[in-house]
Amino acid sequence: MTRWTVVVPVKGTADAKSRLDASEALATAIALDTVVAAVSVARVIVVTSAGTGSELEAGSGPGSAPPSGPVFVDAGAEVVVDPGGGLNAAIRAGLEAAGADGAELSNGVAVLLGDLPALLPSELLAALTEAERHPLAFVSDADGEGTVLITATGGAAHTPSFGAGSRAAHLAAGYVELDVAAESGLRRDVDTPDDLGALAERVGAYTKAALQRN
C-alpha cells in the first residue's frame, strides 16, 4: 500500500480569497477543514506565509474553545514557510520538504488545494487509492477547468501547473485524470460566495463556525 505525503498550499489571508470576499479567519477555517480531513489519511505538509496558522478567533473552532498555537500544527500537519512567488512556487517548496526525509517515509506525493471545506477523509483516501495505479494523476474541480489534486508515485516527478486552465495543463504534462464524482467534496473548491453557499451544511466544523460568526 502506498504511503502518501500530501502538500497543501495555504495563503491563510483574506487576500488569498479575494473573490470569495472572505475574512482572514474564514479563509483559515476553510483551509483548516481541508487539512483536518487530509491528516486522517496521510502525512500532511502545509505551505503557508510566516506567522499564519493562529488567525482563528476565539470561539471559531468546532468546540467552545479556540485552537491554541499554530492551528495547522495542532491539526497534525507539518508547516513550511511559503517562499513567495505564487502558488506553484509554494507547491514546489512543499514538494522539496516532502522529499527531504527520504523515500522511506512516503512513496506517493500529492498536492491538494487548501480550499476544500467539504472534503471528507474517505473521498481523499479513495482518490489516493485510485491514483496508486498511475505514475501521475489528477482530479479536476467541479467546473472541469481547474485542478484540486495532483499525485505522483514510484518516483515520478511532479510538474505543478495550478492556475487558470490547470486541467488542460496537467493533461498536457502527462497526468491521468481520475474519475471522481462531481458532487464529491474533493472537487468542490470555493472561489466565490456562490461556491461556498452551494455547499450549505456540508462544510466542516471550522468553516461552519466561522460562517455562523459572520
pLDDT over 50 (residue 89): yes
Higher pLDDT, 20 or 76: 76
State the pLDDT at residue 22. 61
pLDDT over 50 (residue 58): no
**CA 8, CA 97: separation in Å to the nearest integer?**
12
Higher pLDDT, 197 or 117: 117
Question: What's the mean pLDDT in 206-210?
Answer: 93
Contacts of 157 (CB under 8 A, 6+ apart): none
pLDDT by residue (tens digit) across 138-184?
A: 999 999 999 999 999 988 999 999 999 999 999 999 999 999 999 99
| Domain extent listing, the chain | 4-213
Asked which of 106-110, 119-123, 140-144 is least confident by mean pLDDT, the reply is: 106-110
Q: Which stretch of DSSP H or E encloses residue 129?
A: helix 121-131
State the pLDDT at residue 66. 34
pTM: 0.87
Question: What's the mean pLDDT in 37-60?
Answer: 72
pLDDT by residue (tens digit) across 182-200?
A: 999 999 999 888 899 899 8
**CATH number of 4-213, picked from 3.50.50.60, 2.130.10.10, 3.90.550.10, 3.40.190.290:** 3.90.550.10
State the pLDDT at residue 114. 95
Looking up cell 512567488 gives 85
State the pLDDT at residue 107. 85
